[in-house]
Amino acid sequence: MKTLNNIFQFNKIKKTFLFSLLFVFLFVNGFSQTHLCSEYEADKKAELENPDFLKAKTELDNFTNQYEQSNQKSEVIYIIPVVFHVLHNYGSENISKAQILDAVRIINEDFNKLNADTSQIIPEFQGIAANSHIEFRLAQIDPYGNCTDGIVRTVTSETNNAGDDTKLLSPSWNRTKYLNIWTAANLESGAAGYSFYPSSVSGAWGVSIDGVMILDSYVGSIGTGNYTYARALSHEIGHYLNLAHTWGNSNTPGLLSNCSIDDGVSDTPNTIGHTSCNLYSNTCGFLDNVQNYMDYSYCDRMFTEGQKTRMRAALNSSVSGRNNLWTASNLIATGTNDGYIAQVCAPIPDFIYYNSFGCNSMSVQYTDLTWNVDSGYTILWSFPGGTPSTSNISNPNVSYSNTGDYGSTLTVSNISGSNQITKSNIIHIQDPTTGEGIPWVESFENSSFPINLTDSSKNWLILGNSNFNWSQVNVAYNGLSSVKVPNENNTLNQTSELYSPNIITSSNSHNNFFTFRVAYAQKLSTDVDKLQVYISSNCGLTWYPRFTKSGAELATNGGTLVSSFSPDTSQWRKETISLGLYSNKPYIRVKFLVTSGNGNSIYLDDINLDQLTNIDNLPLSVSNNLNIFPNPVNKESILVFDLSKTSEVELSLSNVLGQKLTFYKNNFIAGPYDLNVNELFKTDLQQGIYFLSVTINGISETLKLVKE
């Protein structure tokens, strides 16, 4: 075992090279957490895109070296105002204020050596475990001088695929006055969090993205968080304050080559980096500081004195304005100074509702999600068309008896002011006894589409969050018109939803199926525009998937890549979908859902719902709704099929050489099935192409599986 003297002697010859950019990616894989870094790629991106990168790097490196050698270092407590930008889509990622306060408590303990588990630091490092004298406080005044509790909530589906662009949806508060922290449900990299060095975001290039982006589940130890991951925020703020990983500038921990890389800190021994807690690990000739917040060990307990000095140097440098954060004038401007008396903020109303589709007399549960205030406000709801029509309780239940589309309004007030939010066209009530009948044909020739001017029960409904949604166009397979979604004008993963009217089916229509024409071409081979079709038999209360195709599989022009697409009559494909278990329902509704992949337009025409007498001759993908999605397969992929009666099902999985990997045979009772592919085959598929033969009551069809 090496002593601290050994460590200090070793570190006297450590390189002082400072690394200017750090993007930390913390990947979650099942129950074991492994941290990975794409530092090299991010560093190159900053070098290429940020014109101030090299100048700022040199300036900060020189300033840090001078500060470390200075004898004028102060122990004054640096207070940093903080704002949390909660990016959510009304899921659990809309974390509570209590969870955020818990996160602030934890980072304050970690940066001030107040965490109770400092007693677990091994003796060899207890002497250099540092109190950084850095404190974090939620802002009480926003950039415009308004009252705030330091939390901004922004509703966006991009919370499920967040990155630097997503930050623009909840714009950064002045980075010289606030530490900006964005929280999200998932990051586009699959990561748990990332941050930048001050020099990387210096200048105009980094103004809007400077700060920390982190998963909601890595924030605090309550709510969606837990204490094991709560230190990730301390780790990310370390990067924000110019700390590297303990193993320095490499893409991943655990590499022997990391021994030759330095983190720029005098008292952190060179190490290969750790993802487990071997506290007496010796990987580069000296005892590793495994319990350091800048390692990946998940048993982190400390910053070192050298790291403290480096962070405080960053807070005294003008690079990216870190030196203004803790000034007396800024603390007064942000309401974080000692003695500031928090004001009562005007509440900001928001709400969520459960059930937006349903039949007559459906009940809707509303929930108040007002924020920017803890309590002490009054509520007034307005529910046009609902019973009751008004309410002043937090979470009212409202019933709707009449067919139509309805909105709701919430007004909240306190001594500081009153605010109101109205959400229009959110509740959709359907009369199941009216609408279209069968045979049903829709060719989109009605010039008033989606409205039927003579019978409102035959109206179509268009919803979704896309910039450009479903619309009627003068392109068609038959006739003059069809409908399309122009995905070339939509951003990635935006959705466009098209809902049919209610369709009344006949009592003897057990062989019902429907067909439609679709047209699509890819711009790039990587385009993943997707079309899905769902069916509901309860007025839209619940939906069941019947069809999904995307990318090359959806293309109808033979696979040719084109920069823009307007189909001729040869570039349409007829799709046939069996209603399966829904063929004997008294009424159904159909939803066409397009998810943008930044590609070309998707066109839809000539929908037909009729009867089929020889349904047994159809392939299983039609008669039994047989499909695998998503495909390429991942751990979430499912095999779906419907059975109208008890049936014998055989499944045989083979590789491209024809070798049978697994075989499954069993009897299934009537009903819909969605079986997890990995659990079904009990095998971890390697990269490649596979073939799944499915046989139901003697009829077979083979599906191709792709594992990337």
CA dist., res. 226 & res. 215, Å (int):
12
Spacing of C-alpha 356 from chain mean position: 23
Task: Give the whole-angstrom CA distance, residue 266 versus residue 69.
Answer: 11
d(CA 90, CA 78): 35
C-beta of residue 656 within 8 angstroms of C-beta of residue 707:
no
Active site (annotated) includes residue 236 = yes
d(CA 296, CA 274): 6
Are 85 and 181 in contact by the 8 Å Cβ rule? The answer is: yes
Tell me the C-alpha to C-alpha distance, in Å, between residue 96 and each of 166, 261, 276, 372.
21, 41, 31, 11
Active-site entry in 39, 93, 158, 236? 236
Please state, in angstroms and as integers, the Cα–Cα distance from residue 152 to each residue in 142, 162, 172, 421, 504, following that order: 10, 16, 10, 16, 46
Which residue, among 426, 489, 198, 447, has the nearest Cα to 325 in the 3D structure?
198
116 CB contacts (<8 Å, ≥6 apart)? 109
Phi-psi domain of 125 (left: phi exceeds 0; alpha: psi -120 through 50; beta: other): alpha
Residue partners of 9: CB distance under 8 A and separation at least 6: none
SS3 630: coil
What the block records as the tokens of 146 is 């308004």
For residues 519 and 444, the answer to whether their CB atoms sit within 8 Å is: no
Instruction: Mention every residue, 6+ apart, whose C-beta is less than 8 A from residue 329.
Output: none
Distance CA(432)–CA(359), nearest Å, equals 7
Q: Are 130 and 118 in contact (CB under 8 A)?
A: no
As a whole number of angstroms, the distance between CA 287 and CA 7 comes to 8
**Are the CB atoms for 250 and 39 separated by under 8 Å?**
yes
Give the β-pairing of 512-519 and 482-485: unpaired
The edge-to-edge listing of strands for the beta sheet with 351-354 is 351-354, 362-368, 397-400, 386-387
Contact 90, 270 (CB under 8 A): no
Say which amino acid occupies 628: I
Q: Which 3 state secondary structure label does DSSP give 289? A: coil
Contact 104, 82 (CB under 8 A): yes
Q: At what angle do helices 305-314 and 53-69 cross, to 10 degrees?
A: 130
Cβ–Cβ under 8 Å, residues 340 and 266: no
Two tokens, residue 13: 């010859």
In angstroms, what is the C-alpha Rg of the chain? 30
The DSSP annotation for 446-488 comes to -TTTT--SS-GGG--EEEES-SS--EEES--SSSS-EEEE-GG
Burial track 577-602 (b if 16+ CB lie within 10 A, e otherwise): bbbbbbbbbebbbbbbbbbbbbbbbb
Structure tokens given for 221: 């130890």
CA–CA gap between residue 281 and residue 283 (Å, rounded)? 6
Residue from 634, 518, 612 nearest 565 by CA? 518
Please state, in angstroms and rounded to a whole number, the distance separating the CA atoms of residues 24 and 39: 7
The DSSP output letter for 591 is E
- Residues designated as active site: 236
